[in-house]
């Protein structure tokens, strides 16, 4: 069997209910709409309300994907969730989603790859389908980053939104599907973007709190530099593995972390602006959910159409990065 092994047959997305425009953040912290828009491209983001935890948003996104694909929850063979802000330490958020959906025949587990989690999950699901471990695998990226953000740290508090994106992956019809996937990581740079507490190394103790290690911590400028390089390199890898040139690609779907990082990737490959999917202004950085949300919106708006080839590229904490080409 030759690629494509697996194709997306349904997608969905969901976000927290509380709309938070930049002007609202001006009231909460020492920041300005002008700084946020100029430095990041973000105008608003959606935060979770009470009760909107990871499996809740994951279920909303997943139900849309399943409905579009026209399958029942019992027909799903596996559920993979990329998340670092799951409902609890264990069991996995994927297990809770399995129960919520009634996907009684599915195996389920989470994977931890920060912003790259959904693309990692897609790559893994493709391999599972190619090796006959399942015919229908649901891949969800969900993050409730407000649950680990230090709201007194303006350098991170303005960036993130809470959201989920989902895709159902099924056996390819031989035309549409994943033409390439690529994954990379560098654990030596973990300390530039991490949430160190709450595990077996640093429990949440008064000492940890006093050291300021309770929340997500990011050295933004350093992360920025690595992100620009890794997003571009990963794009090239995805194109090479698919045997495609940039001009053969209909849309670039980059991770929505910072409009300036997106622009750097766009410039390197010469993609015209109208072939780049950007929604960071409305969602902020939704981490692992950012690419599936952008894909789902663009499909539902009729921008990405059947037959189109899309390259996606992402970079995240860990460090992790990933990319791929999808033919819709």
> Catalytic site residues?
115, 255, 285
Q: Of 147, 160, 159, nearest to 197 (Cα)? A: 147
What is the number of alpha carbons within 13 Å of residue 73 lying toward its C-beta?
13
Q: Where are the beta strands (DSSP E) in 151-283?
A: 163-171, 177-185, 193-194, 217-218, 251-254
Q: Which residue is nearest to ligand UT7 (CB)?
A: 220
Position among 73, 316, 318, 324 found at the interface with ligand UT7 (CB under 6 A): 316
Q: Which is nearer to ligand UT7, 115 or 278 (CB)?
A: 115
What are the two backbone dihedrals, phi and then psi, of residue 183, each rounded to the nearest 5 degrees?
-135, 145
Q: Give the one residue of 103, 125, 178, 227 binding ligand UT7; rule: CB under 6 A.
A: 227
To the nearest whole angstrom, how small is the minimum distance from the Cβ of residue 91 to ligand UT7? 26
Does 258 engage in binding with ligand UT7 (CB under 6 A)? Answer: yes
Report, in Å, the least distance between residue 183 CB and ligand UT7: 15
Stretch that binds ligand UT7, among 32-40, 125-133, 266-274, 291-299 (CB under 6 A): 32-40
Q: How far apart are CA 126 and CA 85, in angstroms?
A: 24
**Could you tell me how many residues of this chain bind ligand UT7 (CB under 6 A)?**
22
| Tokens matching residue 120 | 């990692």
DSSP, collapsed to helix, strand or coil, labels residue 16 as coil
Residues in the chain: 328
Angle at 40 between CA 213 and CA 59, to 5 degrees: 70
Six token digits for residue 301: 């708006």
Q: Which is nearer to ligand UT7, 202 or 224 (CB)?
A: 224
The verdict on 35 binding ligand UT7 (CB under 6 A) reads: yes
Helix (H) or strand (E) holding 10: strand 6-15
Is 79 or 158 the residue whose CB approaches ligand UT7 more closely? 158
| Among candidate residues 84, 17, 19, 80, the one with its CA nearest the CA of residue 52 | 17
For residues 158-197, which are near ligand UT7 according to CB under 6 A? 158, 193
Residue 39 makes contact with ligand UT7 by CB under 6 A: yes
Q: Which helix (H) or strand (E) holds 114?
A: none
229 binds ligand UT7 per the rule CB under 6 A: no
Which one, 9 or 286, has the nearer CB to ligand UT7? 286
Element at 237 (helix H, strand E): helix 220-242
User: What is the per-residue burial (b if ≥16 Cβ within 10 Å, else e) of 6-37?
Assistant: bbbbbbbbbbbebebebeebbeeeebebeebe
Residue closer to ligand UT7, measured from CB, 9 or 265: 265
221, 247, 274, 302: which one binds ligand UT7 (CB under 6 A): 221
Least spacing, CB of residue 262 vs ligand UT7, in Å: 10
In the complex, minimum distance from the CB of residue 81 to ligand UT7, in angstroms, rounded to a whole number: 18
- What does the block give as tokens for 165? 């994106």
- Does residue number 89 form part of the binding site for ligand UT7 (CB under 6 A)? no
Instruction: Tell me how far CA of residue 177 lies from CA of 63, 65, 161, 207, 232, in angstroms.
Output: 21, 16, 29, 50, 22
Q: Is the dihedral of CA 163, 193, 256, 241 positive or negative?
A: negative
Could you tell me if 16 and 49 are in contact, meaning their C-beta atoms sit under 8 angstroms apart? Answer: yes
Segment contacting ligand UT7 by CB under 6 A, of 74-82, 131-139, 177-185, 253-261: 253-261
Segment contacting ligand UT7 by CB under 6 A, of 1-9, 34-42, 119-127, 163-171: 34-42
Instruction: Compute the least distance from the CB of residue 23 to ligand UT7, in Å.
Output: 13
Would you state the structure tokens that stand for residue 240, as one six-digit string? Answer: 């090479």
Q: 9, 22, 40, 44: which one contacts ligand UT7 (CB under 6 A)?
A: 40
Site for ligand UT7, rule CB under 6 A: 31, 35-36, 39-40, 115, 154-155, 158, 193, 220-221, 223-224, 227, 257-258, 261, 285, 287, 315-316
């Amino acid at each position: 069997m030759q690629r494509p092994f697996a194709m997306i047959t349904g997608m969905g997305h969901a976000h927290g209910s509380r709309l938070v425009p930049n002007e609202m953040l001006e009231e909460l912290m020492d920041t300005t709409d002008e700084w946020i828009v100029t430095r990041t491209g973000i105008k608003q983001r959606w935060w979770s309300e009470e009760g909107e935890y990871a499996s809740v948003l994951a279920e909303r996104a997943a139900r849309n994907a399943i409905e579009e694909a026209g399958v029942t929850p019992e027909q799903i063979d596996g559920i993979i969730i990329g998340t670092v802000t799951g409902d609890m330490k264990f069991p996995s958020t994927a297990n809770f989603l399995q129960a919520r959906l009634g996907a009684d025949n599915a195996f389920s587990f989470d994977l931890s790859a920060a912003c790259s989690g959904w693309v990692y999950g897609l790559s893994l699901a493709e391999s599972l389908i190619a090796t006959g471990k399942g015919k229908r695998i649901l891949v969800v990226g969900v993050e409730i980053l407000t649950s680990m953000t230090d709201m007194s740290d303006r350098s991170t508090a303005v960036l993130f939104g809470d959201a989920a994106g989902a895709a159902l992956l099924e056996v390819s019809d031989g035309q549409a599907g994943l033409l390439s996937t690529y994954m990379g990581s560098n654990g030596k740079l973990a300390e530039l973007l991490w949430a160190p507490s709450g595990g077996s190394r640093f429990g949440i103790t008064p000492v940890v709190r006093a050291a300021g290690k309770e929340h997500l911590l990011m050295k933004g400028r350093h992360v920025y530099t690595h992100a620009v390089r890794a997003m571009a390199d990963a794009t090239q890898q995805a194109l090479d593995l698919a045997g495609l040139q940039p001009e053969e690609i209909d849309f670039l779907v980059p991770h929505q972390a910072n409009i300036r990082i997106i622009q750097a990737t766009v410039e390197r490959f010469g993609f015209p602006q109208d072939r780049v999917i950007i929604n960071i202004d409305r969602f902020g950085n939704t981490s692992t959910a950012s690419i599936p949300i952008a894909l789902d919106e663009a499909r539902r708006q009729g921008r990405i159409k059947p037959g189109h080839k899309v390259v996606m590229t992402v970079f995240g904490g860990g460090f992790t990065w990933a990319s791929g080409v999808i033919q819709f």
